A and B are shown apart, each in its own frame.
Chain A
Amino acid sequence: MSETNYKPTSSFGKWFDERLPLLTLFNGHLMQYPTPKNLNYWWTFGGILTFCLMTQIITGIVLAMHYTAHADMAFSSVEHIMRDVNYGWLIRYIHANGASMFFLAVYIHIFRALFYGSYKSPREVIWILGIFIYILMMAAAFMGYVLPWGQMSFWGATVITNLFSAIPLVGESITQWLWGGYSVDNPTLTRFFSLHYLIPFLILGLVVLHIWALHVPGNNNPVGIDLKKDGSDTVPFHPYIVIKDLFALVIFMIIFAGFVFYAPNVLGHSDNYIPADPLITPAHIVPEWYLLPFYAILRSVPDKLGGVILMFSAILILAALPWLDTSKVRSAVFRPIYKQFFWILVLDVLILGYIGAMPAEGAYVAIGRVATVYYFAHFLIIMPVLGFVEKTKPVPLSIADPIISGSGNLAAAKKDKNLN
């Protein structure tokens, strides 16, 4: 794809490109890169996520210029940003809501991959890199939420770091090592600040690998079939995908701005405007909305270690998905039964999110347990079994074919599939 006969037009460009072929690289991966011509708007979230990452990095660097990472001063310094710093309120609200928008986009991105089978061969490495990015995102978001040093910051940090105390024998030493003390305190805050600054750049590095791995086999597409080699199924990335991505990004930014300007605190928790107090636990601790499904899984187990193991498994099980899914067909468009299970999974995750926000009592616990069992059953039972029992619909031979030659080819495609 980057092997096209690209030559920079300017003489300086030629001189530079011969010494460092940066322009050739950009041309190959951001201009000429062949993309399936049937990509729909669910494919625009990769670009949107890149925008989110850059937004968080830029606003974060600015906030760090005014923030003080000390247990006695952090809370006031955040209020200082909100009241005194020029446009500090705007930058902080963009950063705080940007985290939520980042997760909104990443969840759509992940569910898109689940629906269209983008995690399947030959794209397993892209998928696994994506899970690493997701885990780092959660770590960054968690540590970032601790920095304002409000009640939710403090107690969220206490609950999450205490998860590690569930590890047999070394649990206590590990939590003390994480805290730098005997409880969450100033040493914890300063190291979280340092790591919160580091992680976005680790994510950036992984994003480069994620895109690099993507550009080896090329994009999956809504039909989920391999593209024809002759190029009749593809369009160049620029201008076709660039413009489509930009349009989707503008819509996304309108929603983003809606939160920032009209409801900047609706996704946060009011308790975080109370300074941290190690003697009083808020009556009802909840994590940010994007972590609620995992929190529900944690709480659905009456055993400490069991709950922690199950919560981490809920994330890590995704890494095994390319091998748990036994179906040869990628896209759910041609998998009538999987398509229904996909939507049940979406519903199940939404239910888990709701349960995670509710107190751990009565019917909520029971519903949470059922939803947790279903979540694991989806990946461990339904996905492997479905590949064998499901009768898939005929898959077209190419993206171009069914449109150009009509339904005649579908029969051929079916025949071809049966032969395989």
Chain B
Amino acid sequence: MSEENNKKPTRREFIHIATTAVGAVGAGCIALPLVTQMNPDASVKALAKVEVDISKIEKGNEVTIMWRGKPIFIRRRTDEEVQKAREVKIEDLKDPQKDQERVKKGKDEWLVMVGVCTHLGCVPLKQQGEFGGWFCPCHGSHYDISGRIRKGPAPVNMEVPNYEFVSDTKILIG
């Protein structure tokens, strides 16, 4: 008789398991909104695009604008700087990437990137460090004139955001 009981679950066991399962699904359903409420909300996402007039930036100069609460470096590089960025041997790089991949085609002088150190998020200082680019004062990461990591704890190059030239003097970031 006990053998029979083992094989066939009783009504009570079935109800027990079914109730627990429904309870677990319910708990999961209510956990989801409680967790996702912390993700970027609609008002934050709404500010995710910004248009910048770059006509006033001279060669060798740089401006910093805000995008998504982060600084964006827009640098109009001199020809020497572009040349210097392209002379670097790709195998010397920690995060190998050609300078050409970091700029828009035909707009080689314009370097647009998120001015945030990829280590722990500080804002690197311009025209400093051992590679003539940027230097992060927090934990000593050196970036070159293409914003590529050359020395220090940062794992990857400074991020190039999605952007496009809407005209010769305007870019749209985001």
Contacts and interface: CB of A to CB of B under 8 A. Distances in A.
Interface of A: 155, 158-159, 161-163, 165-166, 176-185, 187, 191, 278-285, 299, 301-305, 307, 360-361
Nearest to B67: A182
A279 B64 contact: yes
Nearest to B70: A183
B66 A279 contact: yes
A191 to B, nearest CB: 7
B2 interface: no
Contacts of A307: 153
27 contacts: A158-B121, A159-B138, A161-B121, A162-B119, A165-B121, A177-B39, A180-B39, A180-B41, A181-B40, A181-B44, A182-B48, A185-B44, A187-B40, A187-B41, A191-B38, A278-B69, A279-B64, A279-B66, A281-B137, A282-B137, A285-B122, A299-B139, A299-B153, A303-B155, A304-B154, A305-B155, A360-B139
B123 A182 contact: no
Nearest first, the 8 closest Cβ-Cβ pairs linking A and B are A182-B68, A183-B69, A162-B121, A162-B120, A281-B122, A159-B120, A281-B123, A158-B121
A182 B70 contact: yes
Among the interface residues A163, A180, A281, which one has the most CB atoms of the partner chain B within 10 A?
A281
A304 B155 contact: yes
A361 B122 CA distance: 17
Interface of B: 35, 38-41, 44, 48, 64, 66, 68-71, 116, 119-123, 136-140, 152-155
A187 B35 CA distance: 14
B159 to A, nearest CB: 10
Among the interface residues A155, A161, A182, A302, which one has the most CB atoms of the partner chain B within 10 A?
A182
A301 B140 CA distance: 12
Contacts of B121: 158-159, 161-162, 165, 183
A307 B44 CA distance: 31
Among the interface residues B38, B121, B140, B153, which one has the most CB atoms of the partner chain A within 10 A?
B121
Contacts of B140: 360-361
A307 B120 CA distance: 11
A279 B48 CA distance: 17
A41 B123 CA distance: 47
Contacts of B122: 155, 158-159, 281, 285
Nearest to B71: A279
Nearest to A286: B138
A185 B69 contact: yes
Contacts of B137: 281-285
A180 B44 CA distance: 8
A283 B116 CA distance: 15
B40 A182 contact: yes
A302 B68 CA distance: 29
Contacts of B44: 180-182, 185, 187
A175 to B, nearest CB: 8
Given A159-B138, A191-B38, 20 more contacts: A155-B122, A155-B138, A158-B121, A159-B120, A162-B119, A162-B120, A176-B40, A177-B35, A178-B38, A180-B44, A181-B44, A182-B48, A183-B121, A278-B66, A278-B123, A279-B123, A280-B123, A281-B123, A303-B155, A304-B153
B120 A176 contact: no
Contacts of B152: 302
B40 A158 contact: no
A177 B153 contact: no
A266 to B, nearest CB: 24
A304 B119 contact: yes
A187 to B, nearest CB: 7
